[in-house]
Amino acid sequence: MTTPEPAFDAAHPVDDRYTPPACGELDEITGVLADGRLSGGAPVLPIYEKALAGWFGVQRAVAVNSGTSALHATLIALGVRPGDEVLVPATAPLPTAMPILTCGATPVIVDTAAGSLTLDPTDVAAKLTARTKAAITLPLWGYPADDTTTAGLLTAAGIPIIEDACQAHGTKVRGRYAGTRHRAGCFSTHDRKLLATGEGGFVLTDDEELADRIDFYTHLGHLNGHVHGVNHKLAGPLAAIGLRRLRGLEAQLRTRRAHAARLLAALPDDSPLTELGYGPQDTPNYYNLVLIASDSAEPLAAGFTAAGLPPDSTRYAYRPLYHRPLFAAYATACPNAEALCAATLQLPVHPDMSPAALQWVADRIGVLAAAHAERQRP
């Protein structure tokens, strides 16, 4: 029996979107419809929040209508106001940083440590001021960002840390889930994320008082007329989808990890391409498999794109934050982030990738890595 070769090329790139299989969401939605309350006040909301808190092992989860709302509400609840400064890594994509502008605060862009997604402690120390109100860390592509050193520095300075874990459901850092390691973790459940409800998000925290402030802010101050709030509530049917899909998250993580291992095994010995680094107690969730080239990945990125495996720099024009006009005014020298963004290649390893597609990608990686090694030879 022969399986047809999947044919990917520049015009038909491998799909990096994943559609989870039906898992009884309709039954859950039917229950919400039968009850008739479809808003963020639906009885399924507290059930969903409890399930999230239980899955991640935290005291509180507050469901909201997007990851952007989760970040915005957390910044507000931590007291970020116009004129305040918020530290954000240069590797952050636009949605990580835009909520800082929404608060009227100033993003202070910080370089990452060499070859890593963590905030560089030296640059953090240089950029802390009396106006610094919070710091955002970012396990991008679901890769563990072990910011223990920086966290010590920030905690000593009294600066709360928000993890933007919007891509990092199930990622572990030193044995703990990303998004549960600091003051608050913000997640998205947009269609592209590992837990998907269409639009949606949630905040995790062990700080009950902070959770209450986020809850009041995102629910119009519970209309008590004492505190200001916005309407960032998640609708009942979306919470119902999340509640069911959460049950499949563990299996999805296992499949993604198996797929990543399969592609990594295809790298030739002393390959000029290696996996983006992480510690022995860390586990990526494989939102993407991220490879890093031993020198500039530019010819590699071109080769991957021609082969139908475009990296994020091609697919989404991904580059350091201050390259975007909206953030150009906040540009500072971030050589490590520049090098990291230029050297990384992101590959899909989601469960929709067929064995044949994975084999095809593995073969291409082998060929492209060997060609890159050949180019590097003196």
Ligand X SMILES: *Cc1c(COP(=O)(O)O)cnc(C)c1O
- For residues 16 and 300, which CB has a smaller minimum distance to ligand X in the complex? 16
Taking the complex as a whole, how short is the minimal distance between the CB of residue 318 and ligand X, in angstroms? 11
- For residues 194 and 240, which CB has a smaller minimum distance to ligand X in the complex? 194
Binding residue for ligand X (CB under 6 A) from 66, 118, 132, 285? 66
Does 309 contact ligand X by CB under 6 A? no
Amino acid, single-letter form, for residue 266? A
Which of the ranges 62-70, 121-129, 208-216, 330-338 carries the binding residues for ligand X, by CB under 6 A?
A: 62-70
Q: SS3 of 279, please? A: coil
Task: Give phi and psi for 108, each to the nearest 5.
Answer: -110, 110
Which of the ranges 2-10, 46-54, 63-71, 325-333 carries the binding residues for ligand X, by CB under 6 A?
A: 63-71
180 vs 158: CA distance, rounded Å: 18
Does 164 contact ligand X by CB under 6 A? yes
Taking the complex as a whole, how short is the minimal distance between the CB of residue 288 and ligand X, in angstroms? 11
Does 137 contact ligand X by CB under 6 A? no
Residue listed under structure tokens 């060997």: 370
Does 167 contact ligand X by CB under 6 A? yes
Among 203, 206, 205, smallest CA distance to 218 is for: 203
289 to each of 19, 93, 128, 260, 276, how far by Cα in Å?
18, 17, 33, 6, 9
CB 25 within 8 A of CB 7: no
Does 188 contact ligand X by CB under 6 A? yes
Binding residue for ligand X (CB under 6 A) from 20, 40, 89, 93? 93
Residue listed under structure tokens 């015009």: 11
Does 288 contact ligand X by CB under 6 A? no
Half-sphere exposure in the Cβ direction for 178 (13 Å, CA)? 32
DSSP string, 230-243: -B-PPPHHHHHHHH
Taking the complex as a whole, how short is the minimal distance between the CB of residue 167 and ligand X, in angstroms? 4
Binding residue for ligand X (CB under 6 A) from 166, 195, 211, 289? 166
Residue listed under structure tokens 């030296």: 122
137 vs 86: CA distance, rounded Å: 11
**Measured CA angle at 293 (ends 296, 312), to 5 deg:** 80
Does 90 contact ligand X by CB under 6 A? no
Binding residue for ligand X (CB under 6 A) from 74, 91, 96, 197? 96
Which of the ranges 162-170, 176-184, 202-210, 269-277 carries the binding residues for ligand X, by CB under 6 A?
A: 162-170
Would you tell me which residues interact with ligand X (CB under 6 A)?
66-68, 93, 95-96, 164, 166-167, 188, 190, 201
